[in-house]
């Protein structure tokens, strides 16, 4: 299993040791008590996360093992990518609309640029029409308010474009929780410079077949996969309707019940074979910077196994978490 389907763990403490590539003999491993990042092995940092009280810090995995270290010759649906839930909703964010702190939940600590540098390859973004533009917003009722508005989407799209420019072998997937009208997103995607990386809907397998090989997506420079939650946009704008291609379990607390991996309401059944990609949500309804330390460890691995079984023996291709890294 590990050879082919890489499990990407966020702050995995207890079980990640089995997933590690061997590091220098002297470097501390996942779960070892540490005092500084430098003491921990490659891909680890010294974090209070899961330190078990007493102020101890432990070596914690923040950057996943790059799936491409196992080669790029498999279909895209044979890889697993670390994905951030509400990638744009940064703790302490100031709304670009008001200049004041946003009044809404936040789900990550570092910028999308930093997330990408740390190996995140799936981004969940909520897009809204706001101020005559498309904004990233964490709101309710499909309407963005100035106090729930983070920033114009183009800013983050340009961060993604900069990363794809600088890293010609990397593939990024965006999941849009999309509240925008027809016509809004194409303008922003065009203006962001991302269209040159667009993976066309026409190449996505329609009835559960394999995706193109990762190496072919890279060589053809079709390195941006975008899904929208709005069905009509596939025909009208060429943005793939997520649930034609992806099955997804329940998000929030409903997706954290041990031993269960129910589909979210919009998704086909987890074992539907008409979709070739599996996304596993694993985060609590109320995001918690302290709670993730425990949850993104053994419980996450347990849920991977549960969702693997529920999804017709397929490992999740996208593992979506809150606070994938906690400073
Ligand atoms: C790739 O994924 C397909 C579909 O889940 C599976 O049948 C196949 O065994 C996988 N191949 C490898 C090499 O892991
Ligand atoms: C936010 O929008 C409301 C109207 O919906 C307005 O009254 C208020 O001044 C705005 N706040 C800021 C800081 O722009
Ligand atoms: C986006 O760019 C394409 C190609 O340049 C163009 O055909 C299309 O009209 C543009 N769409 C929008 C909404 O600007
Ligand atoms: C997906 O889950 C919802 C409950 O949220 C359920 O009503 C629906 O029937 C499920 N779809 C399938 C195909 O199982
Ligand atoms: C998971 O997160 C919840 C909410 O923050 C927390 O109460 C719970 O203790 C966490 N679970 C583990 C195993 O740490």
Of the listed ligands, the closest to the CA of 189 is 3
DSSP state of 179: -
Q: Which residues contact 34 (CB under 8 A, 6 or more apart)?
A: 28, 40, 46, 57, 58, 59
B/e letters for 131-148, b = 16+ CB within 10 Å, e = fewer, are: eeebbbbbbeeeebbbeb
DSSP strand pairing (149-152 vs 133-137): antiparallel
The CB of 96 under 6 Å from ligand 2? The reply is no
- pLDDT value, residue 30: 87
CB 132 within 8 A of CB 78: no
Spatial distance between the Cα atoms of 17 and 214, rounded to a whole number of angstroms: 27
Average pLDDT over residues 10-19: 31
Spatial distance between the Cα atoms of 300 and 195, rounded to a whole number of angstroms: 34
Spatial distance between the Cα atoms of 119 and 114, rounded to a whole number of angstroms: 9
Closest Cα to atom 10 of ligand 4: 265
Q: What percent of the chain has pLDDT over 70?
A: 91
Instruction: Tell how far the Cα of 326 is from the centroid of ligand 5, in angstroms.
Output: 14
CB 57 within 8 A of CB 70: no
User: pLDDT digits over 128-137, tens only?
Assistant: 999 999 999 9
Closest Cα to atom 5 of ligand 4: 265
Spatial distance between the Cα atoms of 239 and 293, rounded to a whole number of angstroms: 35
Residue whose tokens read 């999309």: 178
Q: Which of 1, 2, 4 is the pocket-test mutation for ligand 1 (most atoms within 8 Å of CB)? A: 4
User: pLDDT digits over 180-227, tens only?
Assistant: 999 999 999 999 999 999 999 999 999 999 999 999 999 999 999 999
CB 282 within 8 A of CB 255: yes
Spatial distance between the Cα atoms of 217 and 78, rounded to a whole number of angstroms: 13
Instruction: Tell how far the Cα of 265 is from the centroid of ligand 4, in angstroms.
Output: 5
The CB of 98 under 6 Å from ligand 2? The reply is yes
Confidence of residue 56 (pLDDT cuts 50, 70, 90): confident
- pLDDT value, residue 26: 77
The CB of 314 under 6 Å from ligand 1? The reply is yes
Which residue, among 172, 222, 210, 256, has the nearest Cα to 74 in the 3D structure? 210
Instruction: Tell how far the Cα of 319 is from the centroid of ligand 1, in angstroms.
Output: 17
Of the listed ligands, the closest to the CA of 198 is 3
- pLDDT value, residue 300: 96
The CB of 146 under 6 Å from ligand 2? The reply is yes
Instruction: Tell how far the Cα of 138 is from the centroid of ligand 5, in angstroms.
Output: 23
- Answer whether residue 324 shows pLDDT above 70: yes
Spatial distance between the Cα atoms of 158 and 149, rounded to a whole number of angstroms: 18
CB 281 within 8 A of CB 320: yes
Q: Which of 49, 60, 85, 288 is the pocket-test mutation for ligand 5 (most atoms within 8 Å of CB)? A: 288
- Answer whether residue 105 shows pLDDT above 50: yes
CB 53 within 8 A of CB 290: no
- pLDDT value, residue 290: 86
Spatial distance between the Cα atoms of 308 and 316, rounded to a whole number of angstroms: 7
Which residue, among 68, 31, 82, has the nearest Cα to 282 in the 3D structure? 82
CB 96 within 8 A of CB 152: yes
Structure token digits, residue 275: 């979709």
Closest Cα to atom 6 of ligand 5: 291
Of the listed ligands, the closest to the CA of 95 is 2
Ligand 2 atom nearest to CA at 147: 1
Q: Which residue has the higher pLDDT, 289 or 243?
A: 243
Alpha helix locations (H) across the chain? 112-117, 153-166, 184-192, 214-219, 232-237, 291-295, 298-310
Mean residue pLDDT across the chain: 90
How far apart, in Å, are the Cα atoms of 98 and each of 41, 85, 130, 150? 42, 24, 13, 9
Spatial distance between the Cα atoms of 80 and 122, rounded to a whole number of angstroms: 10
Structure token digits, residue 180: 């925008």
- Answer whether residue 313 shows pLDDT above 50: yes
Confidence of residue 293 (pLDDT cuts 50, 70, 90): confident
Instruction: Tell how far the Cα of 30 is from the centroid of ligand 5, in angstroms.
Output: 20
153 class by beta-carbon count within 10 Å (0-12 exposed, 13-18 middle, 19+ buried):
buried
Which domains does the chain carry?
A: 64-321 (3.20.20.190)
Closest Cα to atom 1 of ligand 3: 190
Closest Cα to atom 2 of ligand 2: 146
């Amino acid at each position: 299993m590990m050879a082919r389907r890489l499990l990407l763990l966020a702050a995995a403490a207890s079980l990640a040791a089995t997933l590690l590539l061997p590091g220098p003999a002297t470097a501390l491993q996942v779960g070892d008590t540490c005092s500084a990042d430098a003491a921990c092995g490659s891909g680890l940092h010294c974090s209070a996360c899961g330190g078990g009280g007493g102020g101890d810090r432990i070596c914690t995995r923040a950057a996943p093992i790059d799936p491409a270290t196992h080669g790029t010759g498999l279909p895209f649906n044979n890889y697993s990518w670390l994905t951030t839930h509400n990638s744009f909703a940064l703790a302490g964010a100031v709304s670009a609309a008001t200049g004041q702190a946003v009044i809404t939940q936040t789900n990550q600590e570092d910028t999308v640029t930093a997330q990408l540098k740390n190996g995140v390859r799936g981004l969940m973004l909520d897009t809204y029409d706001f101020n005559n533009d498309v904004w990233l917003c964490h709101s309710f009722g499909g309407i963005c308010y100035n106090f729930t508005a983070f920033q114009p989407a183009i800013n983050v799209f340009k961060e993604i474009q900069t990363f794809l420019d600088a890293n010609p072998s990397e593939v990024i997937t965006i999941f849009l929780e999309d509240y925008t009208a027809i016509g809004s997103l194409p303008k922003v995607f065009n203006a962001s410079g991302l269209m040159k990386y667009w993976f066309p809907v026409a190449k996505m397998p329609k009835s559960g077949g394999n995706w193109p090989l990762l190496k072919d997506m890279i060589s053809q420079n079709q390195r941006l996969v975008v899904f929208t939650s709005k069905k009509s946009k596939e025909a009208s704008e060429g943005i793939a309707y997520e649930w034609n291609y992806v099955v997804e379990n329940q998000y929030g607390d409903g997706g954290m019940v041990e031993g269960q991996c129910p589909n979210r309401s919009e998704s086909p059944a987890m074992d539907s074979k008409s979709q070739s990609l599996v996304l596993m949500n694993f985060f609590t309804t109320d995001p918690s910077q302290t709670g993730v330390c425990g949850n993104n460890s053994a419980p996450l691995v347990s849920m991977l196994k549960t969702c693997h079984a529920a999804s017709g023996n397929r490992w999740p291709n996208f593992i979506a978490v809150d606070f994938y890294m906690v400073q």
